[in-house]
Structure 1
Amino acid sequence: MTGDRPTGERHVPVLRDRCVSLLAPSVAAAEAAGRRAVVVDATLGMGGHAEAMLQRFPDAHLVGVDRDTEALGLAGERLAPYAARTDLVHAVYDELPEVLEDLGIDGVDGVLFDLGVSSLQLDERDRGFAYSYDAPLDMRMDTSRGITAAEVVNTYGEDDLLRIIRTWGEEKFAGRIASAIVRGRETGPFRTTSQLVDVIRGVVPAAAARTGGHPAKRTFQALRIEVNEELTVLERAVPAAIASALIGGRVVAMSYHSLEDRIVKSAFTAGTKSSAPVGFPVELEEHKPYLRSLTRGTEAPTAAEIEENPRAASAKLRAVERIKAGPVDRMTI
């Protein structure tokens, strides 16, 4: 367990200042137009980014969304001084349109995604996200619903295990690991992370572990993604966020592995390029881009930020601004 340290000491937000700065112009534009800006932290976690936004934007209203009830509780304590201008909602981030509708909000000026597993989930040992210490094989971000990692490793067929470990974990030894899991559960079900780690260690060559990090890293990533349907949710969530943004609103997304970044990039690129057919003589208004990119490719944390927070090392930041209506508004989210 992480103990009783204040949430602010337990959680160092990744690229905090850059994220807030990217959202600042849209908040300023809303205030210049005489209305209260609304910003969304779609992955609230322990509230570090949300707190920074509330401090930087003293007149803005913040909607915080998280599927993890424990995180919502901790974030609520951290953000208590700003309770009058916050709404914290238990939901998954692809449910943003429904969340905003329930709150009576027609559109927002900024949306922030900080994807992947949170610091809280990694640090709380009984959640089973980390391979570095023993815990029940759970890995659910919302412990009130859904299947656990134990159910996946104990009930999925070998072909399905191979598929998710290879696809979601990008693990080149997926075949060996899937076979070892199936053999291992013949003597009894997997219940803890250490049981699974031991089986993986037994089939991943030592040389691969020396160069590619912990041998269980990619398998644990794959199981976490499968349990929480992370990539399926993200494929719905990014277009939903874009559709929820007002003209001039911004969407900022931080991803931590190539699978997440690929989905974010695809959704952003679709809106920043003309949709006119090749060779079409005139670009009609309906073909013009509806997003403007705010970053050149991806931005990464500085060396100083990584030193302060090693978990930031793999972060990739992308951001866009909504510049007109677009096809995303007509999508069924």
Structure 2
Amino acid sequence: MEYRKLGRSGMYVSEIAYGNWLTHGSQIGDDSARQCVQAALDAGITTFDTADAYAETRAEAALGSALTGVRRESVEIFTKVYFPTGPGKNDRGLSRKHIMEAIDGSLRRLKTDYVDLYQAHRFDYETPLEETIQAFADVVRAGKAHYIGVSEWTVDEIRSAAALAKELNVGLVSNQPQYNMLWRVVEREIIPASEELGISQIVWSPLAQGVLTGKYSPGKGAPAGSRGAGENGAKDTMAKWLGEDVLTRAQRLQPVAESAGIPLATLALAWVLQNPNVSTAIIGASKPEQIKENTKAAGLALEDALLKEIDEILEPIIERDPGKVDLCPSRP
């Protein structure tokens, strides 16, 4: 495993992080969750990403249980706040009330006194940004989080938040966007601004939710047990990747990976890590053996000729429009 600094902070994170969206508390049980977390630790992964809304808070609880007995200082735990965690009007968003209540709930479920990074899962258009950043600053000052970050915010939103965080002397160190060979909407605006501001990327969906593993073939249904066949939310979020042209071109990457002597999934993860503004790429494996395979991407340098070949294959289907940053349901 290799490690990188998170933004302009002094904290290191593992190049491959283990995340539990769609897995812990829903797709796999607690025993499997513990096995996967142990496999991640054995592979040198120290960074674990979750959110209070994942599996209706069960994912946080599963991660907390799986990390029981692990030396707290040896891992970096990330969680997020924004999406609903209950039926009430205040059980969501980025109001001071919800942030202060949500962090306590997350810490209780994660069985820890603090998280290393507390992230705004989306931008809240119904709460003043000043209120949100002040609340995050108070979470940090209370010792409940070391750093703060955002997820799927636009470049203007990130700049505004960074300015407020600087005034309050708290570390806004990260953004968590979707980023992979096919989805590059952060490259034109967000990554240059992040480099300027001392913010780095924590990448989700580096494998395009499995499409860049080669398991999905054009003209065939999604394999049984895969995310594309599931009913737990993944099927809808990955619909854009299941078109014939996308799947055909993804399959054309197989011989490219073979020529490099690595599996396609490893190639896709290594591609993301070639970007120096990326601190870590989140994997969401449901089986221990998948984790061991994916960590081979850490520290792997790809030659320019190989990167060019990837672009030539995928160019017609690469999404680069910065206006498509997440298309968040909270956005007016």
TM-score, length of structure 2 as denominator length: 0.29
Q: Specify the structure having the higher radius of gyration (Cα).
A: 1
| Greater length-normalized contact order (CA 8 Å, ≥ 6 residues apart) | 2
